Chain A
């Protein structure tokens, strides 16, 4: 899939940085709550970005990225709670821990292909919440009670609210990670990763160390998702095993497929999509019931499912792929 037009990217980025400053003008539109919601979208986007590196660019399927998200969140929470580490310092720690966990998990995963790998990662996602509750770890993880944290404080006496600062914090982290991923993919290593996805045997024959690349990609992917988890621990100011059920992993996968597999911009769109739809699905089902007067008791997940089916039918390449296709067709009509 072609890269996103650079100009558009800069415009979007500038807009993203300016939006919170509009708060004095439109206090109700640019409210703290909305910014918080956008922060959760950014966090989701980073997590999906991590999954995309693995699945979209390296061709390894993971149904268990919620596990790395949980490990990242708990790493951050434990460091803040037990060692009083400042919230920003927990990000690199979470990244390192998740990289190691991901790398180690990638070693046995080398022997597993396709569906088998999907199942193994699925098992990981199921196991992590249970491990967090395990009695030997309870002293550290807080067991089922979880850990209550403080929200990030605004640094340097900046005239921002907590949520505005959180928004900037998440945005900066995402920009850095996006830039790093784009550079990596544009390098020799990135091409090697994609070559493994496209033609494993050919890549192997050409002298690419496939085992190394696959495990390292697994590690980097886990580190990205782990950073997202650490950010979420700061944003929500609470972690508990119940936050990291198997649904989380599935949501990341939905975000990935909806946004566009193998597209960095698609990851961001996918992250935004699932938070948005997750939030509006219930409102939509209520709307159908109360305002349209239809006597269907649709659950939010039903609405979510229907939306997904429609979207996959209309845009099988994900939103970014679909938009790109549409643009090309329009251009074709013109020219």
Chain B
């Protein structure tokens, strides 16, 4: 091939662009919400209302960006993090998100919390072509790049996790008769659907399935029903308060099934301890993040880093709340994504970078678990590891399991 002057110049400039982002000064590209000095990120979170316990996530993420800005920002740009209270009310979320996108003109939204709330804005964000990154919900519908190319999840979805439990039960428990306790909402149902799918033709092994409402005072009567079914496996799909009640009640009743507990409630401080350590020996769960109350991580570099960061940048926040670990890890992923964008802070490039992680090692994930995404894989974390409760902490066992979600 003959090289003429034009292709030569093109080739040289391309090489210059590739050789370093500093050289490519003229290549700066911005969409709404990004400039030479600032990147605007929007966020909604329930600081009030029935789900306000999740408010700590928003506060920790805010502290994270503050510490990033104090350290000089991302590629010289400060992060402006605008977080609004939606009270876990989808109608309110729509209002907040429209304010963020249309008035505040954010580059993207990040870690908006809740399944119904995110459902309400799902279509809107994709019509507006605004990235809706790393949403804080484990529902399985956030990773559909074909229909919703601007929305990406973060944590392993509930569906996949439940499939893993079902397979484990079938492989390890002889003549399993399964009792299921389920919170009667989208989160509970997502788990239950996955569980049934995992059981496949053995679906008849579910001996009893009962549900509770978050407004119920206790789940005692549900647990009694489950015990009376004569089940030898207990799958506990409950948030910490009810999960602890259920395991304590099972212990009080002298019911000793093989217990599986959803990851949502794996916190030692808020579930296992209140349930009574004597009642939770041998309980199995799946994890992807380090539990800050688990003593085995005390000497881990990630955990030390996190504790130091918490003491310095987020004083007053609870060191035993797993939500603070979650918030730090997801913010760190967003940080990395923005860093990778360099000076090309367009919405399109942001999505391209978010969908381009290869086995990225994110701090505070369990050893062996990494972040991988691609233009067809919008599930950043898809691996979990089973662990069994022993003494006063979780004991990881088996291999890290990678599950392809449905």
Contacts and interface: CB of A to CB of B under 8 A. Distances in A.
A106 to B, nearest CB: 27
B48 to A, nearest CB: 5
Contacts of B88: 242
A299 B245 CA distance: 30
A25 B192 CA distance: 55
A29 B375 CA distance: 38
B85 interface: yes
A148 B102 CA distance: 21
B13 interface: no
B48 A300 contact: yes
Contacts of B123: 148, 237
Contacts of B124: 237
A247 B48 CA distance: 11
Contacts of A237: 94, 120, 123-124
A187 interface: no
A271 to B, nearest CB: 14
A33 B94 CA distance: 11
Nearest to B183: A144
A40 B124 CA distance: 17
A183 interface: no
A130 interface: yes
Given A31-B103, A245-B49, A299-B48, A146 B90 contact: yes
B90 A33 contact: no
Contacts of A145: 115-116, 119, 186
B91 A146 contact: no
A232 B85 CA distance: 20
Contacts of A31: 102-103
A243 B50 CA distance: 12
A144 B49 contact: no
Interface in B118-142: 119-120, 122-124
Contacts of B94: 236-238
B185 A133 contact: yes
Contact of B213 (A130, A146, A148): A130
A247 B189 CA distance: 25
B95 A37 contact: yes
Interface string B184-202: 1110010000000000000
Contacts, number: 77
Contacts of B49: 245, 247
B185 A240 contact: no
A245 B50 contact: yes
Contacts of A37: 95
A287 interface: no
Contact of A33 (B87, B89, B102): B102
Contact of A279 (B48, B50, B95, B115): B95
B116 A144 contact: yes
Given A145-B119, A146-B90, A300 B47 contact: yes
B184 A36 contact: no
Interface residues of B, number: 30
B91 A243 contact: yes
Contacts of A40: 95
B119 A240 contact: yes
A236 B90 contact: yes
Contacts of A130: 213
Nearest to A281: B85
A279 B49 CA distance: 15
Nearest to A232: B91
Contact of A240 (B50, B90, B103, B189): B90
A301 B85 CA distance: 11
Nearest to A36: B98
B99 interface: yes
A244 B333 CA distance: 34
B89 A242 contact: yes
B84 interface: yes
Contacts of A300: 47-48, 85
Interface in B15-35: none
A214 B99 CA distance: 42
B122 A144 contact: no
Given A31-B103, A130-B213, A144 B90 contact: no
B48 A301 contact: yes
A237 B94 CA distance: 9
Contact of B90 (A133, A143, A242): A242
A144 to B, nearest CB: 4
A32 interface: yes
A245 B88 CA distance: 10
B120 A236 contact: yes
Interface in B35-75: 47-50
Given A33-B102, A236-B94, A240-B120, A144 B185 contact: yes
A282 interface: yes
Contacts of A240: 90, 116, 119-120
Nearest to A299: B48
Nearest to A40: B95
Interface string A223-241: 0000000001000111011
B48 A32 contact: no
Contacts of B98: 33, 36
10 contacts: A36-B98, A133-B184, A143-B189, A146-B90, A236-B90, A237-B94, A242-B116, A282-B84, A282-B85, A300-B85
Interface of B: 47-50, 84-85, 87-91, 94-95, 98-99, 102-103, 115-117, 119-120, 122-124, 184-186, 189, 213
Given A33-B98, A146-B116, 7 more contacts: A146-B120, A148-B119, A242-B90, A242-B116, A245-B50, A247-B87, A300-B47
Query: When A and B form their complex, which 6 residue pairs have the shortest distance between CB atoms, in order from nearest?
Result: A33-B102, A238-B120, A144-B186, A243-B91, A240-B116, A144-B185
